[in-house]
Amino acid sequence: MNGYKRRTEQKKASILRSAKKLFEQNGIDETKIIEIAKIAEVSPVSIYNYFKSKEGLLRALIEKELDESIQMYSDILDSDIPFAKKLDNIMNIKSYLFTNINNIF
């Protein structure tokens, strides 16, 4: 990955982390793009360039959370632990994911 692409991905990740934090603290409607930009240390224009809108940012955040949980499910299913432990781990992730996304909304 070249330097430009790496910096772009780092900015996007910072924006998503900042948005998640503010959405959880203040709610989606009360969180402003300029606040997210300030915490992420990017310009508001960068957020619009990457995500097009606050709704696009929210969609990307939810997709990221779901992708990460799917990867965790896959890792658990591919592991050598007993089936009952796999099931327990999957249920814990499901509970975490539900709570996490519920906190954002």
Q: How is residue 86 written in tokens?
A: 């796999």
Determine the Cα–Cα distance for residues 84 and 5; give it in Å rounded to an integer: 42
pLDDT at 95: 83
User: Residue-wise pLDDT tens for the chain (105 aa)?
Assistant: 799 999 999 999 999 999 999 998 999 999 999 999 999 999 999 999 999 999 999 999 989 988 988 898 999 999 999 999 999 998 988 887 777 666 666
Calculate Rg over the CA atoms of the chain.
Answer: 16
Predicted local distance difference test score (pLDDT) of residue 1: 77
Q: How many residues does the chain have?
A: 105
Note the pLDDT of residue 65.
84
Measured CA distances, 45 to 26, 53, 97 (Å): 22, 10, 30
The H or E element spanning position 49 is: helix 44-51
Residue 54 to residue 47: CA distance in whole angstroms:
8
Task: Give me the pLDDT at residue 69, please.
Answer: 84
pLDDT of residue 103: 67
